[in-house]
Every structure is written in C-alpha cells, then in structure tokens.
Chain A
Amino acid sequence: MSKIETTHLIDIFEEKTKKDLIDLLSKDIKPEKYLDELIKKSKSKK
C-alpha cells in the first residue's frame, strides 16, 4: 500500500488509536500478528 496515501489518511484523524489502526491496516501484516502490533503501538508515544 502506498505510503504517501496512508500517511495522509492517518493525518485525517486526531486520535492516536485511530492513527495506529490505519497504520496497522495499511501494512502487510499477518492477521495473527495484528494484536501484538497494536499492543506494541499502544506503548509507543508517537
């Protein structure tokens, strides 16, 4: 998925959880790793 489109879509939202989710869904991540990634993201301050 194109990084530039994803970045712009992420910027539409203000909440960190929503940004995390769009970032996760835009990446080529195996579904079984979804929750691990989310937990990792929830710990980052970004």
Chain B
Amino acid sequence: MIEIDYTIERDTGRTKPDIFKPVIKGINQSPLLAEIAADNSRGKSTFLQIMAISFAASENNLKNPELLAKINRLVNEDYQSLVFDLTIDNPNFEYIYNISKPNKDKKNIHFIITDRKTKHKEELTPTSVKKQFKLIYDIPNEPLSRLKNLVEDIKGVQDEITQKIPLLKNILENNLKEIINQPKEEEVNALESKRIKIEEDINELIKRIKRKERKYESLGLLCEIRELQKINSAIRKEEKKLSEYKKKEKKQGQPPKVDTGKRTSIFLVLSRQEDEIEILLKEVYDLIMSNFSQDIDVEVLKNKYKRIDIDDTRNTPTQNTTANTFIIYIEKELRNLGPAVNEKNQESVLILKDLIHVLSRFEDSDYDIPGINMSPDKLLKIFNSKIKDLGFSQEIEEVKNRATDLIREIRILLEEHFKYYIANKDILKTESGSTNYIDYRSLIKQTQEDIRANKKKEKNRINSLSSKGVPETKIKSMLNSIVRKFPELSNYTNIDSILNLYERVRVEISSLKRKRDNKGHALSIVKEDFSLMKRLLKRKNKYSDHRETLESYLDSLVAISHDFEKMNNYLKIMQSNGQLPDNDLAKRYIKTINMLLAKKLKFVTLEGNNHPLKEVNYFKGYFILDNDKKIYFNDLGTGNTQSNYLRSLLRRGYNQPLIVLFDETAMMANHSLHEVYKEMKKLYNNGSLLAGIVIKAGEKDSVKDICKIV
C-alpha cells in the first residue's frame, strides 16, 4: 500500500494563500500498482511528482526536461511551499519505506527505511537513494499526447503569470496611493503659515481682550467715581443752602402769626424744582465743555452759564428766563456744529448702519458670503472703516443726543416750575400782603436730612470702591490713572453714557472671546493636519520620483490581466476545437502557440522513426514535416509505438528495486496500455517493482489496482 499526505501552500497575492491537499478519492491509500484517473487540476501529477522527489529525481536519473522542470517548480518556487509524508509498504520487500518533507521552509527530505522484522530504522542520504533505487518516470512520447502536455505547459506558464498579477497590481496601487496622498513641501509650508497666522490672530485677540477687560474694569470704577463726585457735589450744594437757610432764619426773626405750614410745603416744592433745574443746567454745561470745547467759544458759554439767575424762573415766563437764554445758546451751538456727516453722505451712513446692525448677528461666522467671498467679520470691518471715513462717530452722536434730551427736560421743568409758582403765588403772601415769612426751621431740617441721606450714599460708594481696591485716599489718583490709560474716557462724566459704554465693552469682550475660542478650535485642527502632513513628508515613498512610470506599468498590467484572461480562454477553445474569435490578439496568440509547439516538439515519431518537424497547426490539427508532408492528428496511431517503448523500458533488467511512474497516458488505447500493465505486474510479482503509478485523464476520480485490471 502507498500512503500519501501532502499540503501545498500557494501565494496568489491575496491575504491567505491557496491550500492544496490530496482530493482524489482513494489516493491517500492507494494500491502499490495503481492506475489513477481524474479530471485536470485534481492533483494526479502532483502525486507522481512527490513520488519522484522522494526517490531523488534529478537531471542524473530523469531525462525528460519537462518533468524535471515540473518537479523543480514544486520545491524551488518562492511563491509556494510543500510538505508531505509518504509510506510505501510492499510485502515483497524487506523494508517499509517512509519519505517525508516536514518543513515547508526547508528543502530537506528524510528517507527512512524500517526493517520489517527487527523494526530497526535507518535514514538514507539522497545519494544512497539514487544508488539503491531505479526511478522510471516518463510521459509517453506519443505526438498528440506530448503536444497536449506542451499546451498544458503553456497554460501552466500563463496561469503562473496570471496568479502573480493581483500581487503586483496590489503593490503598484498601494505605492501609487501613498505617492499621490503624500503631501508636497509647499503644502506643508502653506499649512505652517496658516498655523502661524492663526496663532498670531489668537495672540492679538488675547491682547485685545485683556485691554478691553482693563477698560471694562476701569469703566466700572469710573462709573462709581463719577457717582461719588455727583453725590459730593450735591452735598456741597446742600451744605451751602443749609448755611444760607440758617443765616436767613436768624435774620427773619420770629414768625408772623399766620399759618405757614402750607406755604412752607409750596416753598419746598419750588426749591426742589429749582435744584433739579440747576443740576440739569450744570450737566448740560459740563457735557458741552467736555466734548466741544474745541468747537465753540468757551468764554461765551461760561458767561451765559454764570448769568443764569435761578430765582427768575419763578415769576418769569420760561422763554424770558436766563436759564432759557442759556439753553437757546446751547441749541444754537449744537446746530452750528452741524451733523458730523454731510447731507450727501447721510444716506450712506444710514445704509451702512443698517447693514452693520444686520451683519453684527453673524460676526462670529466663518461663512463666506456668496458673490463677494468674504466673511461677515471682514465685511463689518470694511463697513465700520467706511462709516468712520464718512465722519460718523457714535460717541459724538450720543453726546449730542444726550444734550438735546437734557435741554428738553430743562424746558419741561421750567414750564412746570413757572406754572406751579403762578398757581400758588397768593398763598406765599403774608396776611399783610407785604411780608413773605418762610419757615426756615423746616427747610433746615429737610436739608439736613438730605445731607445725611447723601452722606450715607457717599459712605456706601466709598466702601464699594474700597472693596474694589480703591481706598478713599486713592480715588483721585485712580481717576487720573484711568484717564491716562484710556484718554478717550476723560470726557465721560455722564453716568448713562458710561453705563452705555460699559455694556458695549462687555458685549465686545464676549464677542472677542468667542472669536478667540473659534480660532483656537481651528488651530487645533490645523496643528493636527500639520503634524500628520509633516510625518507623511518625512516618510517619502522611495518611488515618488517614478510616479508616471508606475502608473504606466499599472495601466499595462490591467490590460495584461484582461489579455491573459482572453488567452486562457483561447487555449480552452483550442483544446475543445471550438470557434476562436477573429481579432488581433487571438491571431497573434495562435501564431505564437503554433511556433512554440513546433519549437518544443522538434520531431514526430511515426512507426518507430523520428521525423523533424517544420510546422504545427494545433487549431487546425496537423503537422508539417521537414519533407513538407502534412500529417493530420486524426491519422496518427493510438499508441502502439509508445506501448512498445514503455515495455522496452521495463524489460531492461534492473538490479535495483523499480519505481515506475507514467504520466499522461490518455492518448494510448486501452489495449496498448494493458500491455504495459502486464509488464508491470510481472515485475511486481517477481519482487523487482516496489511501486508503480500510471496516470490517465478522466472525468471521474478513480484509483484502480492494476493487478486487478490485467
């Protein structure tokens, strides 16, 4: 019995190699003389090749170069590996033979003989094997069979090339992909510039935020300081009034015998109204002096202000009062200042202001506005710059508006004051009608209460400033410091204006912080891309300079892949005598195959004689001999010659045990083949033949015992 097991691993370029194992039913444990039939690619010849390898097949003991090439391919090619284990147990022999190749990466073959009786084992070297056994391994030299083998050889070569194509394609594609995706030096530099620019922008934003935060803090303090100044001013005024009341009370002496309660309350209302008018007049005066001292005649303004007599507001119609003269002058001066923007540009300013209002909602967006390809932020900068160029100033506008509001308020108060006085004029008179007695005691009391209330406010304000790190002694120097750092705040004396600006700066700070965060996010993305690109740049593909060459080879490889597919198909058609297509590739291929077959076949054996070959036409099925005789395949014999040849091989009388391996005997007729089988059986029976395998083509797998066939 012959026991065989083998594994062939073949790398086809895919992740896992193809694995081949014995698949023909019965081949694992076959008779010592076996006829094996199976369809193509079932592993018949592989079995014979392993048998031949086991018995040290080489150019010394194997004359057929095609068979030798096949054996070499099985053990020497890098893309495939072989392991096998073979045992031959022939009862006619003294030893049991075990031949194995256990390591796929090593070529070593172990030939162990085991004594049937003593079980003693011994390993033979390849040289000993060669000397001790006679290997007969051949393919019947019948022309058509040989021709068929040659065609199979061509197919084998084509298959080997085809199998390597995906691997090469993969290598080409991967390298090209790497080359294409590899960043260019300029791209990396551009990204680095972008990174630096973003970092600069962020630093600039941080600086602006810090400055705005300082301004915001200063505005908070400024607001409190201005409040404190206002309270101080009120206290001073009330103290002055208190002193006057005390003097007047002393001068007035005892009160007349009249009911003074109602009169005093009227007097108090009138005094409060006058105080309010005076405060507003002072505020509008300070506002104009602070903001327009360069544009108006300061001396005239001062005189007009000094001439205000608050007492005339009681009994003089509003339009004739000195206070009204003053505010009419202010109105005239404001008109003279004219609009900051000329008439022609006013419409532009209005449009720009509306646009700025709309765009400011999208200030933080990076979206480029279609048509102009510009971000809202960039466009806002342009609009703001334009509106400034046109002479528009938000702050000046606010000052003017505030002055106008104050004037309106003063006029209303003057009207109310005058009306109130006229309405209560008679009550203010004494019984005699000549003396106005005033209840200074109540006024003094009221004023003292006002002073106390204001002092309480003053104390609270001082405490608040102190808690913010500005002790009372440092308030003045803090104010100077604020004005020094932010000169534009020197004109801000009005609390409402300060609070408006305070809110505006707060909004600006949060907007700047949002921008900084957005830039920070962009920076982290750019940094990540930059480091990735830099790494890729360092790992430059070694074929980067040959991109076009590789692309050209890849294109050709894809084309070849299709061409080989077609060529394999042509070969199948040729073997089955089908209809070949009429195209250039098919024509070139047939011509090549015919030339190749003629070169390899060299001669045709007919009736025991070799005839040199001039041409082969495989597709049309004929040979042309050197004497121009045309011989059609169909006219050739069925293998008698070959049978005689094989039998003559077996009859030569060898001294060593024989191993007989005949491949591809399909073209031999059964009766010719049986003659060979008889010869083999005779050798087996007389103990000369250790093992004999004959391979036939067949559609179904079969392993038959030759001793039972003949």
Contact = CB atoms under 8 A, between A and B. Distances in A.
Nearest to B172: A35
B494 to A, nearest CB: 80
A6 B158 CA distance: 9
Nearest to B69: A2
B298 interface: no
A34 B171 contact: yes
A45 to B, nearest CB: 14
A46 interface: no
A21 B557 contact: yes
A9 B161 contact: yes
Contacts of A11: 592
Interface in B138-168: 153-154, 157-158, 160-161, 164-165, 167-168
Interface string A31-46: 1001100110010000
A26 B158 CA distance: 9
A30 B171 CA distance: 12
A10 B154 CA distance: 13
Given A15-B556, A35-B175, A25 B168 contact: yes
A20 B599 contact: no
Given A35-B175, A38-B550, A26 B167 contact: no
A31 B553 contact: no
A1 B560 contact: no
Interface string B232-268: 0000000000000000000000000000000000000
B546 to A, nearest CB: 5
A43 to B, nearest CB: 9
A30 B406 CA distance: 95
Interface string A1-21: 110111011011101011011
Interface in B110-143: none
Contacts of B172: 35
Interface string B614-632: 0000000000000000000
B600 interface: yes
Contact of B596 (A5, A13, A18, A38): A5
B600 A4 contact: yes
B171 A12 contact: no
A25 B165 contact: yes
Contacts, number: 81
A39 B553 CA distance: 10
A17 B560 CA distance: 10
B161 A38 contact: no
A7 B550 CA distance: 23
Nearest to B13: A31
Nearest to A16: B556
A31 B153 CA distance: 24
A45 B102 CA distance: 46
Interface residues of B, number: 40
B592 A12 contact: yes
B477 interface: no
A18 B19 CA distance: 30
A28 B596 contact: no
Given A1-B160, A4-B599, A24 B168 contact: yes
A31 B171 contact: yes
B552 interface: yes
A20 B164 CA distance: 14
A21 B168 contact: yes
Given A24-B168, A31-B171, A8 B592 contact: yes
Nearest to B168: A34
A21 B560 contact: yes
Contact of B553 (A2, A8, A17, A30): A17
B157 A6 contact: yes
A17 B552 contact: yes
Contact of A38 (B553, B559, B585, B600): B553
B161 A25 contact: yes
Given A22-B161, A22-B560, A30 B592 contact: no
A28 to B, nearest CB: 6
A18 to B, nearest CB: 5
Contacts of A24: 168
Contacts of A1: 73, 157, 160-161
B77 A28 contact: yes
A20 B592 contact: no
A21 B549 CA distance: 12
A25 B164 contact: yes
Interface string B589-605: 10011011001100000
B588 A12 contact: yes
Given A17-B553, A22-B161, A2 B153 contact: yes
A21 B556 contact: yes
Given A12-B588, A21-B557, A35-B175, A30 B599 contact: no
Most chain B CB inside 10 Å of its own CB: which residue of A6, A11, A24, A31:
A31
Contacts of A22: 161, 560
B543 interface: yes
Interface in B545-582: 546, 549-550, 552-553, 555-557, 559-560, 563, 567
B164 to A, nearest CB: 5
B161 A20 contact: no
Most chain A CB inside 10 Å of its own CB: which residue of B543, B589, B592:
B592
A15 B552 CA distance: 11
Contacts of B164: 25
A15 to B, nearest CB: 6
Contacts of B559: 18
Contacts of B588: 12
Nearest to A32: B171
Given A4-B599, A5-B154, A9-B158, A28 B78 contact: yes
A42 to B, nearest CB: 5
A9 B165 contact: no
Contact of B592 (A9, A25, A28, A38): A9
Nearest to A39: B546
A21 to B, nearest CB: 6
B157 to A, nearest CB: 4
Given A2-B157, A17-B556, A21-B560, A8 B596 contact: yes
B306 to A, nearest CB: 99
Contacts of A5: 153-154, 157, 596
A25 B172 CA distance: 13
Nearest to A35: B543
A16 to B, nearest CB: 9
Interface of A: 1-2, 4-6, 8-9, 11-13, 15, 17-18, 20-22, 24-26, 28, 30-31, 34-35, 38-39, 42
9 contacts: A8-B593, A8-B595, A12-B567, A12-B589, A21-B560, A25-B168, A34-B171, A39-B546, A42-B546
Given A21-B553, A28-B78, A35-B550, 8 more contacts: A9-B592, A13-B563, A17-B553, A18-B563, A20-B553, A25-B164, A30-B78, A42-B549
